[in-house]
Structures are given as structure tokens and as C-alpha cells.
Amino acid sequence: MKIENSSGLSFEFLDNGSVKHIEAPPIRISLKSETIYSKAGANLFLRLKSDTIKYKALIGPESDSVFETTENAFIAKGNWEGLEYSCMVQLSAKSQSWQWTVNITNTTLNNVDCDIVYVQDIGLKSITNDLINEYYVSQYLERLIFHDQKFGAVICCRQNMRESSGNPWLMVSCKNMAIAGSTDGMQFYGKTYRETGIPEGLLYERLEGNCAGESSILALQEKPFNLKAGSKHTSIFVATYLPDHPDASSINDLKSLNTLFSEFNDISFEAVTSEMNAQGQNIFTASAFLLADDLTDTELNQFFGKNKRHCEEENGFLLSFFSQQNNHVILREKEIRVERPHGHIMQANEMYSPNEAIISTTSFAFGVFNSHISQGNTNFNVLLSVCTSQFNSAPEAGQRIFVEIDNQFYLLGVPSAFEMGLNHCRWIYKFKKHCFQVRTWTSKSSPVINMDFKVISGDNVKLLITHDFDKLNGWEIMPGGVPGEYWAIPEKSSIIRTKFPEAQFRILINKTTARHSAYMDEEHSSGDTIWK
């Protein structure tokens, strides 16, 4: 689903109503192309404010909206907490600009205090199907909040690394007046997002302002409004893009705001004539993270021994330590206090000098049990996809595990404890009466990577183990000749076959006494293929 104006600006949407990407060739304005499994980089959140703050996404699988696209607009509609809303994006006929309009009707008998937060990921880099390094892109993006007397907080974003079009630039503003903004994903998502999936910024009374961090996520907060019973309110956010902005952003850029808003005064859109689509769910968007409990001192001694070295503590609370000969253990509280997640690169068939027979894998504490599995060249000869998000916002990346408890699936995320050794990682998940162990380890003398799952206490559980295969080589999974054996075979035109014509990876499920099945999920417009 795609809408486009005569200036070349386009929005493409996924089947679940999320924004896949925003482009104005040769530049992709948004940071990367999203998938139906990942968290959307662009969204609008309606917030109810009382003693606590409640929020709801208005588009994508996190919403309860139905949606439709017309020739020049995308419209989503829904009802949340008695607030009936329509959310629409329109493209300007005069420039590479877009406008989000949200109409809200209070159908309850009570007066409510609300606001809307508009979130937009920013890349301003050349369009590519290759992997995006969010850290690298973000460090070259100038992101500044200026104050306009009439429209309040306005965010300007400029790509300082020159692209083929020049220095791409974006400005985001709110017609109703914005009281605050933020310019980095760490401010909006926060360190705990990879554990809870809850953006910390949406729980704050006010967004935190300027920050030049490693994640180019912009958020703009509308001035709060009181909505009386039966009354209506309209919120408007406008963004404008320039392919080249030679000078650094300044307060002078805000002089164009009045003209910009007027571009949408007379715009109309085709009435929706077909039945609207319901947002689509899959196991990644429908399942919550398993919220692991902390381990007791007795349990820590049971799993890691009593001899703990170089203990890191804060206010008497243990965060991390070393155990045995060379194992480093970080606990749940340590993982959610750091900006970058803990991870470990392991090699199989390791040698003292570089060799193309070496197999490597990368694991992360927040439930990435294997990713970026590759033989030799780690750019081209890749089997499992690369996990690039510090927030775990692409939960499909690499190898993941869902557990079913009380008829509900949970995605394993931040564990109670995460252990890293020379050639192994271990995750301990304590959850109510359950305790699970996951291990990944590599062979020292052969090109083999292993992963196993063990129920330490509690009832047996059903597992769903997913694998997101790297798109570059076009992997196809074929059954082998023995039970539990499968072969990953790259397409004939793949890069890996130019070096290794007979390239293939063998996947073996050793516990053949356990009931299991394997299947390939459908390929969607995102291009990702998930094997379960």
C-alpha cells in the first residue's frame, strides 16, 4: 500500500497498517524499512492523563484501528477508552511535505485531559536494501529543537554527511502548538524498553528536549487539551523535507511554518468506499516479553557458585560479577541500566589466524540466542539476520524463543541472569514457579554452533523457536534425510555461491524424542522469511 505525490514523496504501508518507510528518491527519510514483525518507527500516540498516564498507538498492530488507503491519503479509525478517533496522513500537492490529522470525539460522560505524541524515525540517507547501522547513521544527524512563539517546540533534523542530493533536511511541527520534544530514541524508548516493550517517554509528563545520542528517533508532544463530554478536538502535525539544506539548522528555518501549514488548507481526499482493513497481528506483535524475576542469593549460588569475583554493586544491590575461571555474569538489573545491550561474539572451529572455515555467531542478553551466523566473511556469507537494535525493536532478528505458559505465548527477552564465557552464553529465566535455562555454545574444533533449552523447575512448556534468515543470500530450508534434519541452501545467484558453489548449512534437532514440527512462514511485503 503506497501513497505518493507529484513531487516524488511517498509513504509505503505494511499489511498491518504500519509505516514501512517514507521516501523521496534518492533519499529514504525514515531510518529503515520496517517489517510486519518489528515495532513501527513512525506512530502517533493518544494519551489520557490523570493520576497516571495511559496511552494507545493510533496506527499499526499496537493499535485497535481499522485502516484504508486512498489515492492520496491513509486513514485509520478506532475507539479507545471511549475516545472515538480518525487518524489520517495526507501529502502536500506543492512540496515534499506531509500532514497527520487526528480527529477525536469524547463519547464518554466525563471530561478528560489528553495530548498526542508524534514519533518519527529519521535516516535522511540514500535508499538501500542493505542492512542499516542505526548507530552510524545517527551520529551524523544534527537534531535540534527550536521554539516558535506561535507553534512552540519545532524539531529540525539535518544529515551532515553529504548525500547525492546534498544535505537532506527535515522539520517537524505541530499546528496546535507543541510544548516539548525529544531528539533521541533513548529518551523516548528508554533503557527498560528492551525488557518491557513500554516506551518510557510516553509515561513522562513532558518529553526531555535535546539529546544527541545514538538513535535518531524524534518525538513531538502536543500541548495538552481538555476534552469535555461529547466534544471534539483536532490535532495536526506537519513535516517538511528538503533534499538539500546547505546551512546548519537555525531559528530562521521556522519562518516558513505559516506557509507550510497553509499548503494543507484546501487539500481533500477521496472518500473511503471499500471496507476498511483490520490491523494484522502475528506472534511477534501479539506476544508480550516474559518479565523475568530476580534470583535470590541461594539461587545465584546454585547456578554460579559461591565464589564471586569483582562484584559490581549499587546501594547493596548486586549487578554483575565474575565466576569460575573466566565467566562474566550480568543480572537483570544491570542489563536495564545500560544504554547498549550486553552481547557476545563466539567462534566455532577457531584458529589462531583468520580462516574462511571459521563459523561465528553473536548473542545478546535480551533474548537473541544466535544471530549473524556466518562462515568466513561476515558481510556476505551470513545465515541468520543481524540484530542491530539496542531497544530490541526488531524482535524477529536472529534466533528467538517463545514459551507457552497458561495458554499464552511469551517472547524470552531480558533474563534473570546472563552468563558469558569464552565460547558459550547462558540465560536463566525465573518466572513465578517456572525456571528455564537456555545455552548457546560453539565447538572449538569443528564448525558447529549449539543451542539447548532446559526446564529447571515448573511444568514442561511448549516452545516456538524462530529463525530470521539473512535476505542477501535468499535461503531456502529443505528437509534432510533423517528425522530432525534440515538444510539451508542459498539461491543460485547469491554472493556466498560465488565463493562456495556448494554452500549449505545443516540444522539438526537432536532431541528427536520430543514432538516437533518445522515450517516456513509466508514471505510478506517486508521481504523477511521466518522459519519456525
Based on the fold, state whether residues 227 and 297 are members of the same structural domain. no
Residue 279: inside a domain, yes or no?
Answer: no
User: pLDDT tens digits for 295-322?
Assistant: 999 999 999 999 999 999 999 899 999 9
* pLDDT for the residue 132: 83
Q: How confident is the model at residue 526 (pLDDT cuts 50, 70, 90)?
A: very low
Residue 105: inside a domain, yes or no?
Answer: yes
C-alpha cell at 299: 539461587
Q: Would you say residue 91 has pLDDT above 60?
A: yes
Among 274, 294, 313, the domain-final residue is 274
Based on the fold, state whether residues 290 and 438 are members of the same structural domain. yes
Q: Would you say residue 528 has pLDDT above 60?
A: no
Among 245, 274, 303, the domain-final residue is 274
Based on the fold, state whether residues 307 and 178 are members of the same structural domain. no
* pLDDT for the residue 209: 95
Question: Nearest-5° angle of CA 215, CA 220, CA 222?
Answer: 160
Based on the fold, state whether residues 240 and 301 are members of the same structural domain. no
* pLDDT for the residue 483: 86
Based on the fold, state whether residues 176 and 265 are members of the same structural domain. yes
C-alpha cell at 122: 529519521
Cα–Cα dist 242/120, whole Å? 16
Residue 247: inside a domain, yes or no?
Answer: yes
Based on the fold, state whether residues 375 and 437 are members of the same structural domain. yes
* pLDDT for the residue 531: 65
Residue 63: inside a domain, yes or no?
Answer: yes
For the ranges 67-81, 258-272, 498-512, which has the lowest average pLDDT?
258-272
Cα–Cα dist 192/199, whole Å? 8
Based on the fold, state whether residues 310 and 263 are members of the same structural domain. no
Residue 229: inside a domain, yes or no?
Answer: yes
* pLDDT for the residue 7: 92
* pLDDT for the residue 524: 45
Residue 380: inside a domain, yes or no?
Answer: yes
Q: How confident is the model at residue 276 (pLDDT cuts 50, 70, 90)?
A: low
Number of domains in the chain: 2
Question: Nearest-5° angle of CA 238, CA 242, CA 245?
Answer: 125
Residue 280: inside a domain, yes or no?
Answer: no
User: pLDDT tens digits for 108-144?
Assistant: 999 999 999 999 999 999 998 888 888 899 999 999 9
Domain with residue 98: its CATH number is: 2.70.98.40
**Number of neighbours of residue 347 by Cβ within 10 angstroms:** 18
**Number of neighbours of residue 187 by Cβ within 10 angstroms:** 23
Based on the fold, state whether residues 262 and 332 are members of the same structural domain. no
User: Which one has a higher pLDDT value, 389 or 334?
Assistant: 334
Output the average pLDDT for the chain.
92
Residue 12: inside a domain, yes or no?
Answer: yes
C-alpha cell at 379: 558481510
Based on the fold, state whether residues 402 and 484 are members of the same structural domain. yes
User: pLDDT tens digits for 178-190?
Assistant: 999 999 999 999 9
Based on the fold, state whether residues 266 and 383 are members of the same structural domain. no
Q: How confident is the model at residue 243 (pLDDT cuts 50, 70, 90)?
A: very high
Based on the fold, state whether residues 333 and 434 are members of the same structural domain. yes
Domain with residue 444: its CATH number is: 2.70.98
Based on the fold, state whether residues 191 and 302 are members of the same structural domain. no
Parent domain of 525: 285-531
User: pLDDT tens digits for 361-411?
Assistant: 999 999 999 999 999 999 999 999 999 999 999 999 999 999 999 999 999
User: pLDDT tens digits for 189-201?
Assistant: 999 999 999 999 9
Q: How confident is the model at residue 525 (pLDDT cuts 50, 70, 90)?
A: very low
Cα–Cα dist 5/71, whole Å? 9
Mean pLDDT of 434-459: 96
Among 274, 301, 335, the domain-final residue is 274
